[in-house]
Amino acid sequence: MPDLSIKKEWEANALAWVKAIDKNLDPFRKYVLDPALELLLPKWLRGKCLDVGCGEGIVSRFLAKHECEPIGVDVEPTFLRMAL
């Protein structure tokens, strides 16, 4: 059975997370994930792909710019609304 308190915490922090991503305040994303995406994904992915835990959709948008047709899924409704 899922821990609903964790789900509530994610939902409560979703908007703050989206704002941080929009302002490029996540150093892991900026210095690790984004360069890896730029280097590896365009060479390997084409067609349909699944972005599990898509959050606000930043990776799905990247994939869409590189010949992929992303399908994003997330358990948080706020993230899914922001990803549209």
Instruction: Count CB atoms within 10 A of the CB of residue 40.
Output: 10
Is residue 7 over pLDDT 90?
no
Please give the residue that has the higher pLDDT: either 29 or 6: 29
- Give me the pLDDT at residue 26, please: 82
The pLDDT value recorded for residue 1 is 54
Q: What is the pTM of this model?
A: 0.69
- The pLDDT value given to residue 72: 93
Which two three-digit tokens encode residue 41? 């994904």
Instruction: Catalogue the E-assigned strands of the chain.
Output: 47-52, 68-73
Lookup result for tokens 């792909």: 49
- Per residue in 10-60, pLDDT (tens digit) is 777 888 888 887 787 788 888 998 888 888 776 677 788 899 999 889 889
Please give the CATH number for the structural domain made up of 4-83.
3.40.50.150
What is the predicted pLDDT for the residue at 29?
83
Q: How many other C-beta atoms can be found within 10 angstroms of the C-beta atom of residue 18?
A: 19
User: Can you give the pLDDT at residue 55?
Assistant: 87
